[in-house]
Amino acid sequence: MNVDQIAKLKKISQQLRKSVICELSEAGSGHSAGCLGFADVMAVLYFHAMRLDPENPNWEDRDIFVMSNGHYAPLLYATLAERGFFDKKELTNLRKFGSKLQGHPER
């Protein structure tokens, strides 16, 4: 990884942190510390290391990320939105009735 790639990933991780704070603020509560601390890892995985295609999420050769910590859901949602899997506007619906973005993610 070169200096430019590292700078880009740092910028992405900062955006992920901002998105998490906005999600939790809109929801009125949530666990921020773990999400904020893990943002760098998610940026590297989803924007550098993993093979994936937001246009073809069921691509047979994609990498699969399994996260067991449900409290990191806001970060997962922020990452998926930033990567283009769904519209970032959806992040304002965290844990709202009828939203796809519930407190703990499901498949």
Domains in the chain: how many in total? 1
Closest CA to 42 of 20, 12, 62, 70: 12
- Residue 76 within any structural domain of the chain: yes
Q: Name the residue range of residue 31's domain.
A: 3-93
- How far is CA 4 from each of CA 12, 15, 28, rounded to the nearest angstrom? 12, 17, 36
Give the pLDDT of residue 102: 87
Q: If you search the block for the tokens 């990498």, which residue do you land on?
A: 63
Digit-by-digit pLDDT tens for the chain (107 residues) are: 899 999 999 999 999 999 999 999 999 998 899 999 999 999 999 999 999 999 999 999 999 999 888 899 999 999 999 999 999 999 999 999 989 988 777 76
103 inside domain: no
Confirm whether 43 is domain-assigned.
yes
Whether residue 65 lies inside any domain: the answer is yes
